[in-house]
Amino acid sequence: MPLLEVKDLSVRFDTDDGPVHAVDRLSFSLEEGEVLGVVGESGCGKSVSLMSLTQLLPPTAAVTGSAQLGDIELIGASSSRIRRVRGRMVAYVFQEPMTSLNPAFKIGRQIEEVLQRHLDISRGAARKRAIELLQLVRIPAAERRINEYPHQLSGGMRQRVMIAIALACDPKILVADEPTTALDVTIQAGILDLMRDIRERLGTAIVLITHNLGVVADIADRVLVMYAGRKVEEAPVHDLFASPQHPYTIGLLGAVPRPGAASTTGRLQEIPGRVPSLSELPQACAFADRCPRADDLTRSQRPELREVLPGHTVACFHPGGEWAA
């Protein structure tokens, strides 16, 4: 049985301009100790879908569907129940560590606060555990660093503190939402190594939300590609990069300049047009307007997900790498 099983998750925001369907019938599962990459461009619903699991969205969000975490159903659970899930079962790391940390408190205190809130431990034990956590995320001189304020730390160090806070109560699932986007590449490499290390040493399952295909290629076991609130493709990481099936995935991969390949391939692949409005749920493929393979079928019917290769599902009427008009 998977650790987390999400079925038909939909998130709708009711705004003054009408409804916005941010997530549309998303299903996925997460195994223990697995790294799942969730890829998509801004507005595809990748962050919203994961935040909806622990009720981190504003009250205007209408969340439906099911998300089974062990024997707990998360969707529609009472807020006291969700509070026990947050931190201890599911913990989050966000993109910008400076806005996630409180600038007025020493980092040690911010870690201890999490520990004391969720676990029944003394101040002294919390302190000891906080130092251990900083060592776990490989912050040098943890005993000294614990008395520093967030502004005294570099961006990479702050993100390590955020990861330490997320790991404080030994969660089963770590949701990392663009954890390296605000960081320099040499710092990013260190954070990715750390996440790999955490998965190996603690067995934590990681959901990595990112727009960066390189980060996914580095660390994910399985990848889920989202477009306009829907899952369009899912596959083991090697399969996805070796034989992408959905035209959107193929387009995304062709759009990134690759080292060493520029001089030979010539131009980068463009995806014409723009993301559709999310105010209605079209009875068509959401990618139809931008897709070179679109036909009458694509425009009149919504493609359901189907398995084209073992463990490789795609929502497209004309999938595959080779395609002739």
Give whole-number Cα distances, 143 to 107, 134, 154, 244, 314, in Å.
11, 9, 17, 48, 50
Spell out the residues 6+ positions from residue 186 whose beta carbon is closer than 8 angstroms to its own.
none
- Candidates 7-15, 59-67, 71-79, 246-254: pick the segment binding other proteins (CB under 8 A): 246-254
- Binding residues among 65-124 for other proteins as defined by CB under 8 A: none
Give whole-number Cα distances, 64 to 4, 24, 74, 117, in Å.
16, 10, 10, 29
Interacting residue with other proteins among 133, 168, 206, 271 (CB under 8 A):
271
Does 42 sit near other proteins (CB under 8 A)?
yes
- Candidates 65-73, 107-115, 236-244, 306-314: pick the segment binding other proteins (CB under 8 A): 236-244
Interacting residue with other proteins among 29, 68, 135, 212 (CB under 8 A):
212
Does 193 sit near other proteins (CB under 8 A)?
yes
Minimum separation from the CB atom of position 222 to other proteins (A): 11
Does 276 sit near other proteins (CB under 8 A)?
no
Interacting residue with other proteins among 260, 296, 321, 324 (CB under 8 A):
260
Alpha-carbon span 156 to 7, nearest angstrom: 35
In this structure, which amino acid lies at residue 56? L
Task: Decide: 205 and 170 in contact? Cβ < 8 Å.
Answer: no
CB atoms within 10 A of CB 104: 9
Total residues at interface with other proteins (CB under 8 A): 46
- Candidates 49-57, 61-69, 81-89, 251-259: pick the segment binding other proteins (CB under 8 A): 251-259
**x/- track of binding to other proteins for residues 160-189 (CB under 8 A):** ------------------------xxxxxx
DSSP assignment string, 194-230? HHHHHHHHH--EEEEEES-HHHHHHH-SEEEEEETTE
Residue 262 has, within 13 A of its CA and on its CB side, a CA count of: 5
- Binding residues among 22-41 for other proteins as defined by CB under 8 A: 41
Which parts of 146-205 fold into alpha helices (H)? 155-167, 185-202
Does 267 sit near other proteins (CB under 8 A)?
yes
Which residues of this chain interact with other proteins, rule CB under 8 A?
A: 41-42, 154-157, 184-190, 192-193, 211-218, 237-238, 241-242, 251-263, 267-271, 274
